[in-house]
Amino acid sequence: MKVYQTNEIKNISILGSSGSGKTTLAEAMLYEGGVIKRRGSVESGNTVSDYFPVEKEYGYSVFSTVFSVEWQDRKLNFIDCPGSDDFIGGAVSALNVTDTALMVLNAQYGVEVGTINQFRYTEQFHKPVIFVVNQLDNDKADYEGTIAQLREQWGGKIVPIQYPVSTGSSFNAVVDVLKMKMYRWKPEGGVPEVLEIPAEEMDKAMELHKALVESAAEHDDMLMEKFFEEGTLSEDDMRAGIRAGLVIRGMFPVFCVCAGRDMCVRRTLEFLGNVVPCTDKMPRPVTTDGVEVTPDSNGPTSLFFFKTTVEPHIGQVSYFKVISGKVKEGDDLLNADRGSKERVAQLFSVAGQTRNPVTEMVAGDIGATVKLKDVRRGNTLNGKGCDYRFDFIKYPDPKYRRAVKPVNEADAEKMMEILMRMREEDPTWVIEQSKELKQTIVSGQGEFHLRTLKWRIENNDKLPIEFYEPKIPYRETITKAARADYRHKKQSGGAGQFGEVHLIVEPYYEGMPAPDTYRFGGQEYKISVRDTQTIDLDWGGKLVFINSIVGGAIDARFLPAILKGIMARMEQGPLTGSYARDVRIIVYDGKMHPVDSNEISFMLAGRNAFSTAFKEAGPKILEPVYDVEVSVPADYLGDVMSDLQGRRAIIMGMNSEKGYEKLLAKVPLKEMSSYSTSLSSITGGRASFTMKFSSYELVPSDVQEKLLKAYEATQAED
């Protein structure tokens, strides 16, 4: 493969819902581009895109796949992204390093919730979008219905470039209103006949052609003047106008294909080669220091690594985009994130698992290398004198969590190594070894996501694992003030142990006034504040520790020990063993012994006094509550609302968004355990949701009773 220059390179993401035919379209593009000699199929498990064992097992894409096609003296780099929301990380990574999105639609279903979700990401990253209506040979294909749905969502920006003469089993021709020609295929597809538009189609073709000309003219002042003067535009003028409209997302062209029969794929590639903007015409990436970097092949060398995979017999394959300058085989580069030096021994242009060696790549190109020593996804490698660093990929929060452990406890360390390696391949997996819960928690985008992880560990790494319900990170707090004292006294020959602590606990809130006077059991306690420590707790909330000792009842050197004892009990709350938070503690009195008092004595006295007072201070359990946003077709709104209310949700609001309802709710984490599975079941997979931590809130009294009984039972067993 020759070395392509920046103005000859186009980077394109292939997006779309599961079942829209992205992998089949990628296969047809590779075939038309001469990269492969024979088209594979998803059913046969021999496509270029889905080459990992888990993808062949399940029959759907799990990873994004990079491939390139040489077309009309251009290099078209594609990243074929998984369609399922569970594997959205691949699409997010791809959109950050490509310049245009090809959004594939299944003509049977039109605009699906997955389409809308992925389109939102193109909006977030300001990427041009071209829609491709696929599977027009299906008996249930509805091209006009799909166009109507697109226009309902995105209005006049939807501009058809083509339309099918007929759909269903008879589909074999499209009218192209940019070229003003009809393309017709033989049953085997491939190279079409190029014909004049039939008389019976001319009125419709002219109407769509006029709309295309007007849309193209809108985005360039010179073209608009020309259009007003001449009433039309040349084909080259229209291409320039469409390109300008794409860059500013002022128009979304629509193409027709039947990827399974290789119909109109060649014409789509031709459009991509001619019209889609090259990488040098797109907005510049920005470094972590706010420097805008131009994709200049003569600039300093800088590579951004957006994806890693681990492949049998090879090890780690690292995929990168050349942000600036050029990279050659044998170049020595510096890792801006890790400080290590790396030698790029080999460079490849890739097509799935096929790697074609190249000697050089320039700014804007996408490639791969192998056997780097210390490069992770998200790292930047720079040439001498360059200090760029990029960190522009932000992944969505996880939505589904499970505790995981190996069937054989002795394999715990090996399991963690595998999990951390797999997180490098898919950053939307979040792995946490929770000291609080004493569990390893794996969080992902949905049940399929985690099921895939389990399959890979058990089949690729031969390590049996178990998923089970994770514990909930509850918190404990108090609702009123209480007082307690505790004397620790121990005599066992020689030096003894003695420490006595008197303290008051009360709920803490921001801005509360300094303590003054308290009354317990008819007795008044006057507080004189000598010192205050405010501790931001690692698990959220605060602990305020006030020294109000007068008359030297407890020596100041023992106060850190008292605080240490209290902190130990805060880490294992008296109610359920959960972390305690938002408590103010006033140590106001105590006793010590001139010989037997020591730090351990006061640590134990402080711990036990706190525990006693906490239990008398109206203790309550707090649970994590999440903000949940559900996007659901209007038909299913009632069922989804009923399900949420059954999960103790508080509906915060809702609004309509072009055929979909957006529900906003606050839901306890405990009730979200299998929500992704339930939502999919209720809506036939047509709804989606996001969730983000909101706050800790008091659990209802009946739930608290159950939690207390469950904790007592586990303590009795222990």
Encode 540-578 in three state secondary structure. CCEEEEEECCCCCCCCHHHHHHHHHHHHHHHCCCCCCCC
Considering only CA atoms, which of 258, 300, 295 is closest in space to residue 280? Answer: 295
Q: Using alpha carbons only, give the angle 360, 366, 369 rounded to the nearest 5 degrees.
A: 65
pLDDT at site 232: 81
In the sheet that 193-195 helps form, which strands lie side by side, from edge to edge?
162-164, 173-176, 181-184, 193-195
Paired sense of beta strands 252-256 and 158-160, if any = parallel
If we measure between CA atoms, which residue out of 511, 509, 517 comes closest to residue 483?
517
pLDDT the model gives residue 211: 93
- Cβ 411 vs Cβ 461: under 8 Å: no
Classify residue 113 by its DSSP letter: H
Q: What is the residue whose two structure tokens read 């106008």? A: 241
Are the beta carbons of 695 and 646 closer than 8 angstroms? no
> Residue 18 CB: number of other CB atoms within 10 A?
18
Q: Where are the alpha helices (DSSP H) in 33-142?
A: 53-58, 88-97, 113-124
How many residues in the chain? 718
Amino acid, res. 420:
M
Q: pLDDT tens, 102-156?
A: 999 999 999 988 898 899 899 999 999 999 999 999 999 999 999 999 999 999 9
Six token digits for residue 608: 């036990």
pLDDT score for 555: 93
Is the four-CA dihedral 449, 455, 461, 462 of positive or negative sign? positive
Q: How far apart are CA 584 and CA 508, in angstroms?
A: 5
Residue 648, number of CB atoms within 10 A of its CB: 16
Cβ atoms of 276 and 98 within 8 Å: the answer is: no
pLDDT tens figures, 369-421: 998 999 999 999 999 999 999 988 899 889 899 999 999 999 999 999 999 98
Which portions of the chain are predicted below pLDDT 50?
A: none
Give strand pairing partners of 495: none
Token match 């605060």: residue?
A: 542
Please name the amino acid found at residue 576.
T
Q: Which residue is it, tokens 């609001």? A: 653
Three-class SS state of 472: coil
Angle of helix 599-615 relative to helix 559-570, nearest 10 degrees?
Answer: 50
Contact 166, 204 (CB under 8 A): no
CA 676 to chain centre: 15
Greatest pairwise CA separation for the chain in angstroms = 113
Find residue 543's DSSP bridge partners.
Answer: 535, 583
Angle at 316 between CA 314 and CA 317, to 5 degrees: 90
In the numeric block, the tokens 């504040």 are attached to: 529
Residue 680 is predicted with a pLDDT of 86
SS (H, E, C) 475-525: EEECCCCEEEEEEEEECCCCCCEEEEEEEEEEECCCCCCCCCEEEECCEEE
Burial of 594 (0-12, 13-18, 19+ CB in 10 A): exposed
In sequence order, the β-bridge partners of residue 68 are 77
Q: How many CB atoms lie within 10 A of CB 48?
A: 23
- What pLDDT is attached to residue 658? 66
* Residues in Cβ contact with 46 at an 8 Å cutoff, skipping those fewer than 6 apart: 40
Structure tokens at 699: 């659990």
Give the helix, strand, coil percentages of the chain, each rounded to 5: 30, 30, 35
Give the H or E element holding residue 178: none
Instruction: For residue 175, list its beta bridge partners.
Output: 163, 182
Going by C-alpha positions, the residue among 174, 144, 175 that lies closest to residue 263 is: 174
pLDDT of residue 185: 95
Q: What is the dihedral of CA 163, 165, 171, 176, to 10 degrees?
A: -40
Q: From residue 440, how far is each of 130, 189, 425, 466, 692 by CA, in Å?
A: 42, 52, 19, 11, 20
Q: What angle do CA 338, 340, 342 make, to 5 degrees?
A: 125
Position 322, amino acid: V
The answer to whether 66 touches 319, Cβ cutoff 8 Å, is yes
- 585 neighbors 529 (Cβ within 8 angstroms): no
Output the 3-class SS for 131-153: EEEECCCCCCCCHHHHHHHHHHH
- Contacts of residue 316, defined as CB under 8 A and 6 or more positions apart, other chains included, come to 308, 309, 310, 370, 371, 372
User: In this structure, what token pair is assigned to residue 479?
Assistant: 């609702």
Q: Residue for token digits 């959960």?
A: 578
Residue environment code for 467-481, b if the CB has 16+ CB neighbours within 10 A, otherwise e: beebebbbbbbbeeb
- CA nearest to 90, candidates 131, 49, 126, 58: 49
